Amino acid sequence: MTEPMARFTIEQIRTFLAVVRLGSLHRAAAAAGLTQPAVTARIKNLEHALSCALFERTSGGLKLTKRGELLVAHAEKFEHLVELVQRDVVDPAGLEGRLRIGASETVAACWLPELVSRLHGAYPKLEIELKVDVSSDLREALINREIDLAILLGPISEYSVDNILLPGFDLAWYTAASGRRVADETSYLMRPVLTYARNTRPYRELKAQLFERVGPDASLFPSSSLSACFRLVAADMGVAALPRSLGETHVRAGRIREFDPGWVPSPLQFTASFVSEPKSHLTETAAALALEVSTDYAEQHG
């Protein structure tokens, strides 16, 4: 009598595809929130179940064997079928899992809490992990599969990433409410200009515009903390072009005020970005919900 083949699991298939897509056990482990030995064990158990080797180690890293290459297409179909079952059959209220969201500080200070609230309402058993960081780091985290959804200054120009355009944030110029008033408000720009971190698009754009309008004497002080920028403006340490929807609270509190030098940087444009493969109904739903929540926020603060 032929001995029945050992069974393999959905998680083993997913882990196999993660190793294939990311190119290493270490990256696959980081993306899945597992230890590398756990990933190694899943691959070995899958190889035992299929009675064949799926990878071979080379000087350049892991390489698929012939049977490993044959498995990829079948595994992707299997993965897609599981995704369809979760989308069409599983009750969202009973769906368990983990969703890793990365967001810029601007979004975190505005409508991210509402997004998390609505996700919890739709998926009460879902574990949501949040990462607040600058957009460049969020981009790398998404590409490396360390997060599932990135809400950042986008879009991300990468073939493997889908981007949903979100409403932008209009900027306004701010100075300390207690600061000295001048007749020509363009002269405020001769003071230190507090702005976003050096490796961001807003910093590069503002630097170029200040050089053109003010000249080489313009002084920029980049910061990775949006809240710190507001505090420094309130302390009369400089001026800044910051999101108006966030500045409103500080203006009403009498800490800062708007001024008009005759121009303002272009609005901050954000996207909800996610890796298209493997396809995830949950991630796509979260991205669509981010569009809904951000649109509501923009209408309320427009």
Question: What residue ranges do the domains of the chain occupy?
Answer: 10-88, 95-168+269-300, 171-259
Ranking 36-40, 230-234, 239-243 by mean pLDDT, the lowest is 36-40
Query: Which residues lie closer than 8 Å to 16 by C-beta, 6 or more apart?
Result: 42, 43, 46, 54, 71, 75
Asked whether the domain spanning 171-259 has the same topology as the one spanning 10-88, the reply is no
Query: Nearest CA to 54 among 19, 27, 89?
Result: 19
Q: How many residues does the chain have?
A: 302
Percent of the chain with pLDDT over 70: 94
Confidence of residue 90 (pLDDT cuts 50, 70, 90): low
Compare 84 and 272 and report the one with higher pLDDT: 272
Residue 79: band (very low, low, confident or very high) from pLDDT cuts 50, 70, 90: confident
Longest dimension (CA), the chain: 96
> Taking 70 as the threshold, does the pLDDT of residue 2 lie above it?
no
Q: Is the pLDDT of residue 104 over 90?
A: yes
Burial class of residue 169 in the structure, from the number of CB atoms within 10 Å of its CB (0-12 exposed, 13-18 middle, 19+ buried):
buried
Residue 218's CB: how many other CB atoms inside 10 A? 18
Q: Which of the four CATH numbers 1.10.390.10, 3.50.50.60, 3.40.190.10, 1.10.260.40 does domain 95-168+269-300 have?
A: 3.40.190.10
- Per residue in 250-261, pLDDT (tens digit) is 999 999 999 999
Q: Is the peptide bond before 202 cis (omega within 30 degrees of 0)?
A: no
pLDDT, average across residues 18-32: 86
Which pLDDT value is given to residue 1?
Answer: 44
Tokens of 125: 């058993």
Separation between Cα atoms, residue 153 and residue 273, nearest integer Å: 10
Res 302 pLDDT > 80: no
List C-alpha distances in Å: 176 to 140, 202, 224, 269, 281.
36, 21, 20, 26, 46
Question: In degrees, to the nearest 5, what angle opens at C-alpha 209 toward C-alphas 204 and 211?
Answer: 95
Rounded Cα distance between 75 and 22, Å, is 15
Q: What is the pLDDT of residue 210?
A: 92
pLDDT class of 92 with cuts at 50, 70, 90: low
Look up the pTM and report it. 0.76
Beta-bridge partners for 259: 173
**H or E element, residue 294:** helix 281-300
Q: 193: helix, coil or strand?
A: strand
Stretch 261-284: mean pLDDT:
91
Q: Map residue 290 onto helix, strand or coil.
A: helix
Question: Stretch 132-154: mean pLDDT, rounded?
Answer: 92
Query: Where does residue 184 rank: exposed (0-12), middle (13-18), buried (19+ CB within 10 A)?
Result: exposed
CATH class, 171-259 region? alpha beta
Does 4 score more than 70 pLDDT? Answer: no
- Return the higher-pLDDT residue of 170 and 14: 170
Query: What's the pLDDT at 88?
Result: 65
pLDDT tens digits, one per residue of 153-195: 989 998 889 999 999 999 999 999 998 888 889 999 999 999 9
Q: What is the CATH number of domain 10-88?
A: 1.10.10.10
